[in-house]
Amino acid sequence: MKIKHNKNFTAGAIITAFMLAVILIGMVWTPYDPNAMSGAERMLAPCPSHPLGTDNFGRDILSRVVEGAGATFVIAAATVAIGLAAGLVVGGLTGYYGGWLDEVVMRFNDAVAAFPSILLALVLIALFGSGKYNIILALGLLFIPSFARVVRSEVARQKSLDYVAGARLMGAGDMRILFLHILPNIIPVLLPSVAIGFNNAVLAEASMSYLSVGVQPPDASLGRMLNEAQGYLLTAPWYALSAGVAIILLVLGFGLLSEGMGGEYGAA
Amino acid sequence: MRYILKKTGVLLITLLLISLLAFLAFQIVPGDPTTKLLGSEYSPERAAALRAEMGLDRNVLVRYVDWLTGFVTGDLGVSYSYGMGVRQVMAGKGVVTAALSLMAWALVIAISIPMGITLARWQGGRLDRACVAMNQVFMAIPPFFLGILFTYLFGLVLHLFVPGGFVSPRQSVWGFLGYLVFPALAIAIPKAAMVTKLLRSSIINQMGENYVRTAYSRGNSRWGVIRGHVLRNAILPVVTFVAMTLADIVAGSIIVEQVFALPGLGRLLLASIGNRDYPVVQCIVVIIAFVVVFMNYLADVVTQTIDPRVRLA
C-alpha cells in the first residue's frame, strides 16, 4: 500500500484520531447525561462546569456534541458499509464479466451519479418515511454507484493480470478468483474512496438531520442540533458553533486522509 | 455534429427514464391518496368514486403517458394538500431557486477563476500556502452551517440584512437579489474552494510541459506563459467540473433556502414531503433533475466545442 506521507495525511490522521477518541470515550462516559434537562441552567455561556455551555433545555452541550458526533459517525459507518458491500458485488461482477449487463448497469450508475445526491436522498425519504434507519438505508443505496464504479474499473484492470490466469490454471472458479484473489488486491485503491465516502456520508447525514428528516429528537445528532441552535443564535451562539465545528472536524479529517492516500477530495 | 446528435439522443432517453422512474416511485408508495383527500368523510364508495374521478383505476403506464403529456404541455396535476393545481402552488417559487442557484454559480466562477490563476502564478509563495491550507477548511464547511454563521455575523451582529426576511421580485428586483447574496455566498464558498484548488493544480501540472519550456525560451514571463499558453489547456477539466457543480449547487440551495427561510422550490419540496403531497414532490424532483441533466449535456457539448480532441468514449 502506497501512502504519500505528506502533511495532508498526517493532519487528517490526527484530526480523525482525535474525533474517534472523543466518540469512543463518549460511548462509555460523558460529563453529563446528554438528555438530562435542568430548568435552572438554561442557556449558560461556556463556563468551567459546562465547557461549551448549555442549550435551551439546560442540557450540557459538550455531552450532546460528543453523543451527536457518535450518532453521526455510526450512521456514516453503516451507510458506507452498505454502499461498499453492495458496490463490491455489483462492481465486481460487472467488472469481471463485462458484456451488456455491465453496459446497462454502468449507464444506470452514470444517471444516478449525475443527480444531486440530497435530492435523491429526499425522494427515498419521501418513499420510506423519515428516521434514523431509513436515513441509513437511503444514503446507503445512494452510495452504491460510486463504490461500484471504482471496484468495476479496478477489477476489469486486474482480471487480465498473470496471477488471475495462474489461479484459473489451478482450477479456481470465477467466484473464488473474484473474491479471494482479486478483492484483496484492490483494497489499496478502495481506501481513498472509503474515506471520501465517509466524508460525504457525514455531510449528507448532517444535512438530512438539519432538515429534520434524519435522527429524531430527543436523540442528539449534529445536524439536528444545528437546526435547534438556529433559533437561539442571538442568545446562545456557542450552541450552533459547537455543533458546526464538530461537523467540520469530522469532514475535514476524512477529507485530508483520503487526499493523503491519493484520492480526489471534493471531486466526488 | 455527430457527437452532438448522439449526445442529444442520450439526453432525451435519460430525461424519459428519469420521468418514468420518478413517476413509478410515487406509485408504489404505500397508502392511497384518496384516504388523505377524503379525511373524515372516508367511505369505500366515495373512495372508489374519487379514484375513478382521478383516473387512479387505470393502468399505470396509461397514467404515466397521461402525466407526461400534461407535464410537457404545462398541466402539472393537482396538489393533494393545497387543493389547487401544482402549477399554482409552484408559482413564483421556481424564480427564487433559479436566481439563487445561478447567483451562487456565478459567484463560484467569479471567485475561483481569479483565485486559482493568482495562486498558481505565485505558487509556493506565502499567499499560496496560506490559501491552500484555508481551501481545505472551506471545502469541509457544510453550506447550511456557513449560512447559519452568515445569519449570525451579517444578520444579527452587523445588521446587513433581516434574518428570515424576504423581498419578492415583484416588489423590487434589487431588493430581491440583495436578499439572495448571503445565501448564494453560503452555497458558493465551499464549491469555489474546490474549483480554485482544481484550477491551481491543473495550471501547475501544465507548467512542466514542453510547450511551456518553449514559451519561456522565447522570453515570456511566467505570467505571460500562463495567460497566453497554459490557461487555455488548463481550463478544460475546470469547465467540466464547474458545469457538474451545478447539481450540487441546486442541492445546496434546497438546504440553504431552509436556513434563510427563502420561499423557493426547496422549501416547498420539504413541506410537501412532510405532507405526503406526492404530485408536488414528483413535479419538483423531475424539474430539478431535468435542469441538472440538461446542464451536464451542455457542459459536454461546450467541452467538445472548445477541445475537438474530446470524442465519444
| Cβ neighbours for B128, distance < 8 A, ≥ 6 positions apart | B119, B122
Mark yes or no for CB contact A119/B136 under 8 Å. Answer: no
pLDDT classification of A263: cutoffs 50, 70, 90: low
For residue A60, report the phi and psi dihedrals to the nearest 5 degrees.
Answer: -75, 120
Averaged pLDDT, A72-93: 92
Cell of A222: 449534529
Cell of B189: 464558498
Mark yes or no for CB contact B140/A111 under 8 Å. Answer: no
CA distance A82 to A125: 17
CA distance B304 to A54: 56
Dihedral angle over CA of B97, B99, B105, B108, nearest 10: -110
Residues of chain A with pLDDT > 90, as a percent, come to 8
Whole-prediction pTM: 0.84
Q: What is the largest CA-CA distance in chain A?
A: 76
The pLDDT assigned to B313 comes to 42
CA distance B187 to B254: 10
CA distance B78 to B86: 5
Provide the shortest C-alpha distance from residue B220 to chain A (in Å).
33
**Residue A178: CA count within 13 A, CB half-sphere:** 17
The pLDDT assigned to A114 comes to 67
Structural domains in chain A?
3-267 (1.10.3720.10)
Q: Which of B144, B241, B273 faces A207 most closely, judged by CB atoms? A: B144
Provide the shortest C-alpha distance from residue A92 to chain B (in Å).
22
- CB-based burial of residue B149 (10 Å sphere; 0-12 exposed, 13-18 middle, 19+ buried)? middle
Q: Is B251 on the interface with A (CB under 8 A)?
A: yes
Cell of B151: 445569519
Among B194, B249, B91, B195, CA closest to A119 = B249
The overall average pLDDT reported for chain A is 83
Write the Ramachandran bin of A99: left for phi over 0, alpha for psi from -120 to 50, otherwise beta: left
Render A104-115 in DSSP notation, one character per residue.
HHHHHHHHHHTS
Helices (H) and strands (E) in chain A, counts: 10, 0
In residues, how long is chain B?
A: 313
pLDDT at A104 over 80: yes
Averaged pLDDT, A202-222: 83
**pLDDT tens for the 313 residues of chain B, in order:** 777 888 888 888 888 888 888 888 777 766 666 666 666 677 777 777 777 777 676 777 888 888 888 888 877 777 777 777 788 888 888 888 999 999 999 999 999 999 999 998 888 888 888 888 888 889 889 899 999 998 888 888 888 877 777 777 777 888 888 888 999 999 999 999 999 999 998 999 888 888 989 988 988 888 888 888 888 888 888 888 888 788 888 888 888 998 888 888 888 988 888 887 888 888 888 888 888 888 888 877 877 777 766 654 4
CA distance B268 to B81: 12
Mark yes or no for CB contact B270/A118 under 8 Å. Answer: no
Mark yes or no for CB contact B22/A123 under 8 Å. Answer: yes
pLDDT at A266 over 50: no
The pLDDT assigned to A259 comes to 81
The pLDDT assigned to A268 comes to 37
User: From B269, which residue of chain A is nearest by alpha-carbon distance?
Assistant: A122
Averaged pLDDT, A201-219: 84
Candidates A127, A130, A213: best to mutate against B (most CBs of B within 10 A) is: A127
Q: Are A116 and B250 in contact (CB under 8 A)?
A: yes
Q: Is B15 on the interface with A (CB under 8 A)?
A: no
- CB-based burial of residue A47 (10 Å sphere; 0-12 exposed, 13-18 middle, 19+ buried)? exposed
Among A11, A41, A72, CA closest to A220 = A72
Mark yes or no for CB contact B281/A126 under 8 Å. Answer: yes
Mark yes or no for CB contact A119/B145 under 8 Å. Answer: no
Rg (CA), chain A: 21
The pLDDT assigned to A171 comes to 86
Render chain B in DSSP notation, one character per residue.
-HHHHHHHHHHHHHHHHHHHHHHHHHHSSSS-HHHHHHGGG--HHHHHHHHHHHTTTS-HHHHHHHHHHHHHHT---B-TTTSSBHHHHHTTHHHHHHHHHHHHHHHHHHHHHHHHHHHHHTTTSHHHHHHHHHHHHHHTS-HHHHHHHHIIIIIIIS-SS-TT----TTT-HHHHHHHHHHHHHHHHHHHHHHHHHHHHHHHHHHTTSHHHHHHHHTT--HHHHIIIIIHHHHHHHHHHHHHHHHHHHHHHHHHHHHHHT--SHHHHHHHHHHHT-HHHHHHHHHHHHHHHHHHHHHHHHHHHHH-TT----
pLDDT at A238 over 70: yes
ipTM: 0.83
pLDDT classification of A237: cutoffs 50, 70, 90: confident
Q: Are B108 and B102 in contact (CB under 8 A)?
A: no
Among B281, B303, B295, CA closest to B249 = B295
The pLDDT assigned to B295 comes to 81
User: From B198, which residue of chain A is nearest by alpha-carbon distance?
Assistant: A267
Candidates A65, A104, A210: best to mutate against B (most CBs of B within 10 A) is: A210
Provide the shortest C-alpha distance from residue B266 to chain A (in Å).
9
The pLDDT assigned to B30 comes to 63
CA distance A162 to A154: 15
Q: What angle do CA A246, A250, A256 make, to 5 degrees?
A: 135
Q: Is B26 on the interface with A (CB under 8 A)?
A: yes
The pLDDT assigned to A267 comes to 41
Q: Of A2-6, A238-242, B157-161, B203-207, which range is least confident?
A: A2-6
CA distance B109 to B116: 10
User: From B284, which residue of chain A is nearest by alpha-carbon distance?
Assistant: A119
pLDDT tens digits, A135-175? 899 899 888 988 998 899 889 888 888 888 888 888 888 88
SS3 content of chain A, % helix, strand, coil (to 5): 75, 0, 25
Residues of chain A with pLDDT > 70, as a percent, come to 93
Q: Which residues of A touch B255 (CB under 8 A)?
A: 118, 207, 210-211
